[in-house]
A and B are shown apart, each in its own frame.
Chain A
C-alpha cells in the first residue's frame, strides 16, 4: 500500500513538473527589472544577450533584476524544462555616438561637413525605436543652422554646408537634453577678387596684392601661394610664387618696358597691369 502510494506520489510530482508553467511579461525594457511567474519551483535558467543565469526559484513570482536584463534582445527563461521567450526592448536614449568630419573645412562649401549619430541607451543598446536627432552648426556670434533628422534603426546622419564665417564652428547633435559637441574649424576658402598694384623699385617692379580674401570676405590663411606673372614679347613669361604674409603677397619682378603683369592664386585670376616703364 505504502509502495503504491509512493509510486503515485512520484508520478504526480513528475506530472506536475511536466505541466509546470512559466509566464513571462509581454513587454520588458533593457536595464529595468521584470517579473515572471513559475507555477512550480525548480531551477531557473535565463539565457539572453550578455546573460546566462542559473538559480533556484520557488513557485510564484520571480523577479529578474535590471542587471539580469541589461541588454536588448531575445531572452529565454527555462524552469523545469518549460521555456518561454521574451523580447527586451532598448531603453530610452542616454548616449550619442557622434562622428563628425572633417575637423577643418573651407567656408561656404556645400555638403562638406558630415555627421552621423548612433543613438544608444545607458547599456549601449542601439535605440531602434524611431526618434529624431537635432543637428546644429554655427560659429560664435552667429545664429546656428539647425536641422532635425529622423533616426532609422538607431542612426541619423546629415551632410551640411560650411558656414560663411571662418573660425571654430560648434557642430552639435542632440536628443532631448543629451548634447554632444564637436568642433569643426572653418577656414577661409580660395582667394576671390584678387587685386595687385605695381611700382618701380630701382631696376625692378615691386608688386603687391591688396589684402587677399575669399568670396565671403575672410582673409585667406598666411602661407597661401600667390603667383605673379610677367610676360613680354622679348623675354617670354617669368613667374614668381609668393606666400601670403599678414594677408598680403609681395614680389619683385624685373622692370621690362611693355611687360604685362598678372596675378593668380589657385584657379583665381586677378587684375592685369601693362607696365609702361613708369
Chain B
C-alpha cells in the first residue's frame, strides 16, 4: 500500500516536472515575442514612397527590425560601456564614433543612459542600386550622464536624426545616425 502510494507520488512528481519542462520553451518564446513587440511599438514608421527606388516589403521589414535593434544595442553599449554590442548594428563612421565614446566613457568612469520613448520615422531615400537607405527620425528621448554611480545631468529632448543604413553582406547596418539641428 505504502509502496503504491510512493509510486503514485513519484509518477505525479515526474508528470509535474515534465509539464514544467515542456512549458519553458513556450514561456521563453512568449517572452521574446513580447520583448520584440514592446521594442518596436515605440517606432512609428511612415509608409511614404521612397525615391528614387521603391522600397520592397521585405527590405522595409528588415529596416524596421534592424533600426529598433540598433537603438537597443546603442543604449546598452553606452550604458554598460560594451564595445561588443556596437558591431551588431553599426558600421563605418557611426561605429567609430560609438567606439570612441565608449572608450572615453571608460577612461573617465562615465556612462550614459538613453531612453528613446518614441520615434516618428520616415523613409527618405533608397539608392537606385539598392544598397543604401536614408531615414529621418524624430525621437523623444531622455538622457542621463552618470559619473560612477552618480547622476551628473539628465534632460529630455525631442531630437531629429538623419540615419543612413547600408547593406553589409546580407544585413542592414547603421552607417550614420546624426543629430540634426
Contact = CB atoms under 8 A, between A and B. Distances in A.
Contact of A81 (B109, B125, B131, B153): B153
Nearest to A101: B129
Nearest to B81: A52
Contacts of A54: 108-110, 147
A16 to B, nearest CB: 18
Interface residues of B, number: 38
Contact of A101 (B104, B128, B159): B128
Given A99-B129, A116-B127, A118-B132, 9 more contacts: A47-B145, A53-B108, A54-B108, A114-B128, A116-B128, A128-B180, A153-B134, A155-B134, A159-B128
B129 A71 contact: no
B136 interface: yes
A85 B159 CA distance: 12
Given A78-B145, A124-B93, A73 B178 contact: yes
Contacts of B124: 153
A159 B52 contact: yes
Contacts of A154: 162
A135 interface: no
B138 interface: no
A56 to B, nearest CB: 12
Interface of B: 52, 92-93, 96-98, 100-101, 104-105, 108-110, 112, 124-125, 127-129, 131-132, 134, 136, 143, 145, 147, 152-153, 155, 157, 159, 162, 164, 176, 178-181
Dominant SS among interface residues on chain A? strand
A50 to B, nearest CB: 4
A47 B112 contact: yes
Interface in A47-101: 47, 49-54, 71-74, 76, 78, 81, 83, 85, 87, 89-90, 99, 101
Contacts of A78: 145, 152-153
A157 B108 contact: no
Contacts of B164: 118, 126
A50 B92 contact: no
A195 B100 CA distance: 67
B129 A114 contact: yes
Interface of A: 45, 47, 49-54, 71-74, 76, 78, 81, 83, 85, 87, 89-90, 99, 101-102, 114-116, 118, 120, 123-126, 128, 152-155, 157, 159
B121 to A, nearest CB: 14
A157 B181 contact: no
Contacts of A81: 152-153
A99 B127 contact: yes
Contacts of B110: 45, 47, 52, 54
Contact of A52 (B112, B132, B136, B176): B112
Between A47, A76, A125, A159, the greatest number of chain B beta carbons within 10 A of the residue's beta carbon is seen for A47
Contact of A74 (B93, B96, B159): B159
11 contacts: A52-B108, A72-B178, A73-B178, A74-B159, A78-B153, A83-B155, A99-B129, A118-B164, A126-B164, A153-B125, A154-B162
Top 10 A-B residue pairs of the complex, sorted by shortest distance between their CB atoms: A124-B93, A114-B128, A73-B179, A50-B97, A101-B129, A54-B108, A52-B104, A52-B105, A116-B127, A50-B100
B176 to A, nearest CB: 5
Contacts of A89: 181
A154 B100 CA distance: 24
Contacts of A85: 155
B97 A87 contact: no
B176 A49 contact: no
B179 A53 contact: no
B48 to A, nearest CB: 14
B112 A99 contact: no
Contact of B153 (A50, A51, A83, A153): A83
B5 to A, nearest CB: 66
A90 B162 CA distance: 12
A54 B101 CA distance: 12
Contacts of A152: 125
Nearest to B104: A52
A49 B132 contact: no
